[in-house]
Structure 1
């Protein structure tokens, strides 16, 4: 799978002084206790939830949402929501800028992420993704039908799935062209007539004095150093999650037209906030 690279290279690494190290400890330790403590609680609760409800998860998503909302408070990042998340059966598509997107989008709405298969093997993030019901897929044309079937089964189970049609993350200052393959699942005859797709824009505002790409995480950037840089910042910025009016799948002729409509809304919204 290809990754996006910036023509401007990567941001300069943050030089950690004593103050930065202190901030990492003061923010990082409570964050670790929150994430891994609630992960254990979620796994225990899942032992009861899974045999009773199967694919459905009526309890554990509340734990995930609590963790993500509280994480922003512990990091000092202001979290803002505009618009109203869909409550009906449907899916969410958003631009992809950072590992922080996981917290941003889970904090506002109970959703199940669709992620590339490699994420399942990442330390920390992979464990969390598997525990919270993430759907792992391989972006391989040879497996397209099998992936579509997994997608449809989760949608039919009532899950609101969220995926990033760009297929990779960027520097938070742009929206990359949408890939349309996964949109095909929404046109299944069992889903098409009532499926809603909600475009969502995630906008990161860097801390005052920091580079605009501060929260962006892309290409070959490593997770650990980026996490430490985020925690060490003297001041934090904010993240705004904007929910746009949902699109009715039945009103679109094919996946490409549907994907283009969602992409246009997200691109225009991000541009308006960056200008």
Structure 2
């Protein structure tokens, strides 16, 4: 399918079954309880963490990871991890299929997401994103310098940022061309000599009998409807997360060559994992 075709394609047909409503309510309540209890603990610990460590967050990201692992377990979404998160200072780039990437990637590494500014205003999700240290950016040329300064500041604080160079989520069966603009932050004021970038491939395998696009979130699909599908699904599939070897930023000539390298690694592994 062409780009226009897949973006305008209707969502896969789905039936929750006779127990769907009950399943959805029970899972939703369990996830809400875990998430907001975890948030309460995180906010209390942050009151201690901030005066002791300033911008650094050596404790609270572990709360976020625990909550996301618990939510994956509640859904019944199995994670298969290949490779391991890097130990070096730097950033992580991954392909983007759905909002559920927030759970699966946070469950697998201690990271801070880079998200579009609109996310901060989403009911429930925006508040959680702010509390967990998400970096919000606006993809407008007039604010490019401010965005770059913000990213550079967080990187210098030792925060491992995770961003999606595709710029949008997909139908989960493809990888879109990477945009190189956010990579520029790694090439400023000597950061390229100390930072590493780790490509990560995320592949969702749909539950048996379901459309391969089951986990994808694209086009005009609304968040509430997609969330309800995740909550009511009789059975979930698997997400395969591959941490590729990290590479030094100064091993690349510029942001475009680094973006192209990451895209090639992620795209190749995504294609192989799908088959």
Change (3 A) 1:88 1:5: farther
Distance 1:68 1:227 in 2: 15
Distance 1:146 1:266 in 2: 29
Q: 1:88 aligns to what?
A: 88
Q: Is the 8 A contact 1:91 1:160 kept in 2?
A: yes
1:108 partner SS: coil
* Residue ranges of structure 2 left out of the alignment (5+ in a row): none
Moved more, 185-194 or 59-68: 185-194
C-alpha RMSD of the superposition: 1.5
Q: Is the 8 A contact 1:110 1:160 kept in 2?
A: yes
Distance 1:241 1:217 in 2: 18
Report the TM-score, using the length of structure 1 for normalisation: 0.95
Q: 2:261 aligns to what?
A: 261
1:17 CA displacement: 4.2
How many residues are paired up?
A: 273
1:14 CA displacement: 3.2
Distance 1:261 1:213 in 2: 26
1:179 partnered with 2:182: no
- Map 1:171-210 onto structure 2 (within 5 A): 171-210=171-210
Give CA deviations for 1:114-142 in whole Å, capped at 9, x if unaligned: 00000000011111110000000001111
Q: 2:221 aligns to what?
A: 221
Q: Is the 8 A contact 1:5 1:219 kept in 2?
A: no
Distance 2:5 2:52 in 1: 45
Distance 1:41 1:14 in 2: 37
Give CA deviations for 1:42-86 in whole Å, capped at 9, x if unaligned: 112212222332211111101000001111111111111100111
Report the TM-score, using the length of structure 2 for normalisation: 0.95
- Map 1:1-275 onto structure 2 (within 5 A): 6=6, 9-12=9-12, 14-275=14-275
* Residue ranges of structure 1 left out of the alignment (5+ in a row): none
1:188 CA displacement: 1.6
1:233 CA displacement: 1.1
Change (3 A) 1:158 1:7: closer
Distance 1:206 1:228 in 2: 16
